[in-house]
Structure 1
Amino acid sequence: MLENRLIYGLYPEVITEPGDAKRTLTSLTNNYLYKDLFSYKGLKKPDVIQKLVRALALQLGSEVSYNELSNLLGIDKETVENYICLLEKCFVVFRLDFFSRNLRNEIKKGKKIYFYDNGIRNAVISNFAPLELRTDAGALEFKWNAKAKSKQLKVFMESYLNSVYEIITPENFWSFVR
């Protein structure tokens, strides 16, 4: 079921009614995803937030530039940042800090933005294709080959002493997400 979870996410109704997963996610996205955001006072351009969510969904796994999003959406950079902050508060997305060998660069670099639920992300871009047909499969999956060696991991452990890490594999995936 792991591939289904990567495509359709973990919303309870999606799991209990897998035959209706696409319809459920499309309904959630169209009717409820933006409800909290649209009711927020001061939100002047609800259509812009929908375009922002779509742009973020298409950039999954890539560094996000607020300047680029600002130009794309025709709004200022501060508004982009405020809207992303609102999306975080509503548990739609979360920001992940950039990792660099140079700790100063970590502060300067942008962030990657991920969706809490892949099903919602995939509904936003209307893509429920199987993993083998997707160009974005790498952005949906953990790097979970237990035998893979990573130079970045060594640098991370040297930079952040007393840190712990875990390589996610199909065998420990469920214990990781619980």
Structure 2
Amino acid sequence: MFIRLIGKKIEEKSYNGKKVNYISCDDPTARASLSNKGSVELRTIIGSCEIVILDEAQLVENIGITIKLLVDNYPDLQVIATGSSSFDLANKIVEPLTGRSFEFSFYSMSLQEIEFNLSRSNVLSRMNNFLIMGTYPAVVSQPEYALDTLQNISGGFLYKDILAYEGIRKPELLQKILTVIARSQGSEISVQSIANDTDASQHTVSNYIYLLEQAHLIYTLRSVESNDITSIRKKKKYFITDTGIRNSLVGGYLSIETRSDVGQLWEMICVMERIKFHTNSGRIPKIYYWRYNDQEVDIVDLTPSFESAFECTWSLKGSKSKKIPKAFLQDFPNLKVSIVHHENFWILYE
């Protein structure tokens, strides 16, 4: 499941020596050819490939049945169904493929991906820009057009799939909720508070937050008070999944020298980098934050085999004066705790 414009399109004709057929279901002809067909006819349509990629698969009528027929009748065929509308795609394929499908979630590019494709020095030299403009592929590859790209995304593409969902009756409320969340980065906020700020009911706000999560536009972080997982509190933080989108929502493209939210933006990046570290490897992240008596640790990762904690501070200088609360060390005595700043970001992938 993907957010829009994160670069999921695949053009390769082969992968690891296997023949690939890429089909864009945005094409009405392709959609019609895949809908309500028998297994023999489907095999003729997709050809002799070993991997078939169905992009925007949720647009195909009865796509779950189509994929089931392919999987049942051609066990050596690998089917990859991608979609920007995660709730729509999941609803259509989960039941027919129960126990035989694996779900992967992707966000905008991670710093780790950029480092792999370019270099660590390139990431470090452009870190200020990533903080402000984010890491959508088009922003990373064409930084000179970053502002236009972000305005394009936030102006239309951002809500395309959610607005197509039948449960949305107040599209302007969606924008208000997302803007309130964008302004609260790094802070605890309640559904009731968001409801008050947007003149909406808590029930409606909860529903819209769920849809924003499913569209991978926000990520919810819950707090944990001790090593006992049952101690997870009701308070939450909601993070916009890309700093560029967040800044477009609040109109904040100022340079880091003149802004007061650098710490919050860096926390956003660190949280999302740790999440991407897991999701890009097919793991389900179990990430929280810890807070007690106004003391806080930004990231508590309880993902099995990757248990660790991180305190986020933008500068190397600031990291030297950062202290981990004693109460946290008492709650999590066996947890490795690291302080991550923009000059050692790679420790987020350990």
TM range (shorter): 0.7 to 0.9
Q: Between 108-117 and 29-38, report the one with greater CA deviation.
A: 108-117
Question: After the TM superposition, which residues 98-137 of structure 1 pair with which residues of structure 2 at under 5 Å, given as runs?
Answer: 98-100=223-225, 107-137=232-262
Is 2:350 aligned against 1:167? no
Is 2:146 aligned against 1:21? yes
Separation of aligned partners in 1, 2:346 and 2:187? 25
Separation of aligned partners in 2, 1:90 and 1:81? 14
| Residue pair 2:225, 2:232 contacting (<8 A) in 1 also | no
Q: Identify the residue that residue 155 of structure 1 maps to in structure 2.
A: 327
Separation of aligned partners in 2, 1:151 and 1:36? 41
Gapped regions of structure 1 (runs ≥ 5): none
Q: Which has the higher strand share?
A: 2
> Match for 1:143 among 296, 313, 319?
313
Separation of aligned partners in 1, 2:342 and 2:244? 19
Separation of aligned partners in 1, 2:338 and 2:190? 29
CA 1:175–1:161: 2 relative to 1, 3 Å: closer
Separation of aligned partners in 2, 1:148 and 1:36? 45
Structure 1 residue 161, shift from structure 2 partner: 4.3
TM-score (norm 2): 0.46
Separation of aligned partners in 1, 2:349 and 2:131? 12
| Residue pair 2:225, 2:331 contacting (<8 A) in 1 also | no
Other structure's SS at 1:166 match: strand
Q: Which has the larger radius of gyration?
A: 2
Structure 1 residue 71, shift from structure 2 partner: 1.6
Q: Identify the residue that residue 89 of structure 1 maps to in structure 2.
A: 214
Gapped regions of structure 2 (runs ≥ 5): 1-125, 267-311
Is 2:133 aligned against 1:4? no
Structure 1 residue 100, shift from structure 2 partner: 4.6
Which gives a bigger RCO, structure 1 or 2 (Cα 8 Å, sep 6+)? 1
CA 1:20–1:147: 2 relative to 1, 3 Å: same
TM-score (norm 1): 0.86
Other structure's SS at 1:13 match: helix
Q: Which has the higher helix share?
A: 1
Identity over the aligned pairs, expressed in percent? 35
Structure 1 residue 170, shift from structure 2 partner: 2.7
